[in-house]
C-alpha cells in the first residue's frame, strides 16, 4: 500500500509483519496531530493555582465541609450498648450507643449511632472518627458535644491496595507494573488537572477529550510498549472517545438532562457558573475510557496475530476474521457495562422498584435517565470503536508485497 521501501528486522520472514507505508504515515501523522491538540488543551485550560480557593469562596457556606470550630478527632471504642431505653423503637432497639475513648480526653464519651452502624459488625477495639462541636456557651471552648462521623477503614483499604498490587504484579509481571504506573498517572491527571479545570469553568467536553487523550497516550505506550500495534489501538481509542463525546452531547441535549441529579450537583451549583450538561458529557467520556481501551487493544492484537499467521491474506479477510473476535468481545463487554451500573446503583433501583409508578414513567426521572443515557452512550462508543480499530489495524498490517515495509511483531 502506497510508496515506500522494504527493510528486514530479522532474518526470518515467518515472524514478520508487512506494514503498509502509507497507512503507517497517516496513522503516525494523525496521532501527532492528536498529541499536539492534547498538549494545546492542557496548556489552554491549565487551571490557575488558586482555582480551588476561588471555587470555595464562590461557594460560600456550601463549600465549607464543617462549621467553624468543628474538628474530627479519632478514638477507640471501649463499650457498645446495643439499645437505648426510651429512644427509637419501643424495645429500645431503634438506636445504639458507643463508648469511645477520644484521644486527649480523660474519660470516654458516649455517642449515639444509627442501628446500621452497629449492624456492620463494629465493636470494642475498632476506631471511629467523631465530629466535635464546641458548645457555644463555653467561654474557653473546652466543652463540646460529640457525634459519630465515620468508622476508620484505612487498614482495610491498605491491605486491599497491597493485595491488588501483589496480584497484578505477580500475574502480569513487568506489564502489570507499567499498568499500575499508568493508573497512578491517570489519577494524577484527573485530580490535579481535570477537576480544577472544570471548577475553573473550562468546557466539560473539551476537558474530557484532553484528559482522556493525555491518559491514553501515557497508559497505552507505558503498558504495551512503543509499537505500531499500540499506536493502532491508541488511534482507535481516541476516535472512540470522540464518537462517545459527540453522541453524548446530542443525547444529553435531546433528553433535556440537567446534569444535577443528586445533592453533590446542588452543592456545586453554588460554586459559580458551571455548565452541568457539559460536566455530564465529561462524565460520559471518562466512564467509557477503561472498557474502550480494553476493546481497542484486543482488536489491534487480534489483527496483528492474524496477519502474522496469514501474511498473504487480503485486508478484507483479516478484517472479517478480526471482527468475528470483536463481536464476541462486544457482547461480553456490553454485559460488563450494564451490570456494573446495576451493581453501583442497586439501592437507587430498589427505591425506584418500590415506588407505585409504572416503569416507563420512572425512566423519566433525572437520576435513572442520566444513568441510562450514560450506559447507552458509552456502549455505542464502545461498539463503534471495534470496527474502527479493526479497520485501522487491517490497513496498517498489510499483506506481503513489494510496497510494504517489514517489521517484527511485538512480543
Question: What span, in angstroms and rounded, lies between the C-alpha atoms of 72 and 140?
Answer: 19
Please give the DSSP secondary-structure letter assigned to residue 397.
B
How is the beta sheet containing 109-113 ordered, strand by strand?
109-113, 96-102, 74-81, 127-134, 144-151
Cell of 129: 472518627
pLDDT number for residue 68: 67
| Residues 379, 381, 387, 390, Cα dihedral to 10° | -100
| Contact indicator for 21, 405 with CB cutoff of 8 Å | yes
Question: What span, in angstroms and rounded, lies between the C-alpha atoms of 48 and 51?
Answer: 5
Nearest to 128 by CA among 72, 65, 66: 72
Count CB neighbours of 387 within 10 A. Answer: 17
Question: What span, in angstroms and rounded, lies between the C-alpha atoms of 200 and 54?
Answer: 9
pLDDT number for residue 109: 87
What is the set of domains in the chain, with CATH numbers? Answer: 13-45+172-407 (1.20.1640), 74-152 (no CATH)
Please give the DSSP secondary-structure letter assigned to residue 408.
P
What is the tens place of the pLDDT at every residue in 22-80?
A: 899 999 999 999 999 999 999 999 988 766 666 556 554 445 556 667 788 888 888 88
What is the tens place of the pLDDT at every residue in 223-271?
A: 888 899 999 999 999 999 999 999 999 999 998 888 777 666 667 766 6
β partners of residue 130:
148
Averaged pLDDT score across all residues of the chain: 81
How far from 243 is each of 137, 188, 209, 326, CA to CA, in Å? Answer: 60, 25, 11, 18
Amino acid at each position: 500500500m502506497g510508496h515506500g521501501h522494504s527493510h528486514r528486522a530479522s532474518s526470518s520472514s515467518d515472524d514478520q509483519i508487512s506494514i503498509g507505508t502509507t497507512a503507517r504515515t497517516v496513522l503516525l501523522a494523525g496521532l501527532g496531530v492528536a498529541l499536539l491538540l492534547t498538549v494545546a488543551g492542557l496548556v489552554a485550560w491549565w487551571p490557575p493555582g488558586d482555582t480551588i480557593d476561588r471555587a470555595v469562596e464562590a461557594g460560600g457556606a456550601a463549600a465549607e465541609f464543617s462549621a467553624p470550630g468543628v474538628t474530627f478527632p479519632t478514638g477507640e471504642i471501649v463499650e457498645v450498648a446495643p439499645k437505648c431505653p426510651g429512644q427509637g423503637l419501643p424495645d429500645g432497639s431503634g438506636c445504639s450507643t458507643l463508648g469511645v475513648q477520644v484521644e486527649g480526653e480523660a474519660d470516654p464519651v458516649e455517642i449515639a449511632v444509627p442501628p446500621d452502624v452497629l449492624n456492620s459488625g463494629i465493636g470494642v477495639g475498632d476506631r471511629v472518627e467523631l465530629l466535635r462541636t464546641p458548645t457555644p456557651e463555653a467561654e474557653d471552648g473546652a466543652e463540646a458535644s460529640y457525634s459519630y462521623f465515620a468508622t476508620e477503614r484505612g487498614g482495610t483499604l491498605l491491605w486491599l491496595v497491597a493485595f491488588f498490587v501483589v496480584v497484578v504484579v505477580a500475574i502480569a509481571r513487568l506489564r502489570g507494573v507499567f499498568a499500575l504506573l499508568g493508573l497512578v498517572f491517570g489519577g494524577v491527571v484527573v485530580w490535579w488537572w481535570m477537576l480544577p479545570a472544570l471548577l475553573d469553568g473550562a468546557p466539560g467536553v473539551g476537558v474530557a477529550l484532553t484528559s482522556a487523550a493525555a491518559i491514553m497516550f501515557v497508559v497505552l505506550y507505558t503498558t504495551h510498549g512503543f509499537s505500531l500495534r499500540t499506536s493502532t489501538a491508541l488511534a482507535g481509542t481516541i476516535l472512540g472517545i470522540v464518537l462517545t463525546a459527540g453522541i453524548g452531547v446530542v443525547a444529553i441535549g435531546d433528553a433535556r438532562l440537567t446534569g444535577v441529579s443528586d445533592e453533590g450537583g446542588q452543592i456545586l451549583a453554588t460554586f459559580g457558573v458551571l455548565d452541568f450538561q457539559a460536566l455530564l458529557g465529561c462524565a460520559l467520556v471518562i466512564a467509557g475510557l477503561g472498557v474502550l481501551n480494553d476493546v481497542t487493544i484486543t482488536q489491534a492484537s487480534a489483527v496483528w496475530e492474524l496477519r502474522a499467521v496469514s501474511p498473504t491474506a487480503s485486508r478484507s479477510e483479516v478484517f472479517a476474521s478480526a471482527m468475528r473476535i470483536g463481536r464476541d468481545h462486544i457482547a461480553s463487554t456490553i454485559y460488563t457495562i450494564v451490570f456494573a451500573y446495576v451493581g453501583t446503583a442497586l439501592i437507587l433501583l430498589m427505591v425506584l422498584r418500590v415506588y407505585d409508578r409504572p416503569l416507563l414513567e420512572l425512566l423519566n426521572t433525572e437520576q435513572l435517565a442520566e444513568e441510562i443515557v450514560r450506559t447507552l452512550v458509552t456502549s455505542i462508543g464502545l461498539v463503534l470503536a471495534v470496527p474502527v480499530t479493526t479497520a485501522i489495524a487491517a490497513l496498517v498490517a498489510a499483506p506481503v508485497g513489494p510496497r510494504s515495509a517489514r517489521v517484527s511483531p511485538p512480543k
